[in-house]
Amino acid sequence: MIRVAILTVSDKSSRGEREDRGGPAIREALQTANLEWSEVAYRIVADEEQEIAEALFHLSEREDVDLILTTGGTGLAPRDVTPQVTLDAIEYEVPGVAEAMRAASLRVTPAGMLSRGVAGVRNRTLIVNLPGSPKAVRENLEAIAAALPHAISTLRGEVGEHLVQPGASPSEVSTHSPQPPLPGQGEGAKGVRVDP
């Protein structure tokens, strides 16, 4: 079970001037992905560096949070500060997550390359920046969903070995045993020296 905190970053939603659409889109995308998850926290903050930082630090200190999904503030506008605040908060990046999300967006629109969302780890908690658009939230989560169970298991220290097959659904991620050698590899393969 992945314990998820949702953090919506939006000036208007934080003031109650607009209904949050990013948070509900995250919930919908997680359900569609058939992940085993539970929502343990939900917050809305303004596009203010201090508010975002405090929320990220507080949520990543909680022992019941495995994954923080932010939505909003990843574009090019002056108040889109979620990525730089996240970079300041995390201990290390997980660049492949952001790369996969941008690649998914680029298949839909050239504007996908303009997303500055990042992903990284703080206090054994994975933090992923998603766009504010509900459609982009769904596309981005679909792109990374199959890898999330393995990422969370690794961060929890529970990892046996997991193998994520290309195109696998999250339920198909499973523990595996070593694979047989490929042709031309291993003991006795023609042209390969095998030392005893």
Query: Is 69 inside any structural domain?
Result: yes
In the prediction, which pLDDT does 188 show?
40
What CA–CA distance (Å, rounded) separates 175 from 194? 29
Q: Which residues make beta-bridge pairs with 92?
A: 121
Query: Is 13 inside any structural domain?
Result: yes
Query: Is 59 inside any structural domain?
Result: yes
What is the per-residue pLDDT across 152-189, written as a single tens digit (0 to 9) for each?
999 999 976 544 555 555 555 444 333 444 444 444 43
Residue 59 and residue 125 in contact, taking contact as beta carbons nearer than 8 Å: yes
Query: Is 152 inside any structural domain?
Result: yes
What CA–CA distance (Å, rounded) separates 194 from 118? 44
What is the per-residue pLDDT across 43-60, written as a single tens digit (0 to 9) for each?
999 999 999 999 999 999
Query: Is 169 inside any structural domain?
Result: yes
Query: Is 99 inside any structural domain?
Result: yes
What is the DSSP secondary-structure string of 28-63? HHHHHTT--EEEEEEEEE-S-HHHHHHHHHHHHH-T
What's this model's pTM, rounded to 2 decimal places? 0.81
The number of distinct structural domains making up the chain is 1
Residue 136 sits in a domain of what CATH number? 3.40.980.10
State which residues form the domain around 93: 2-175
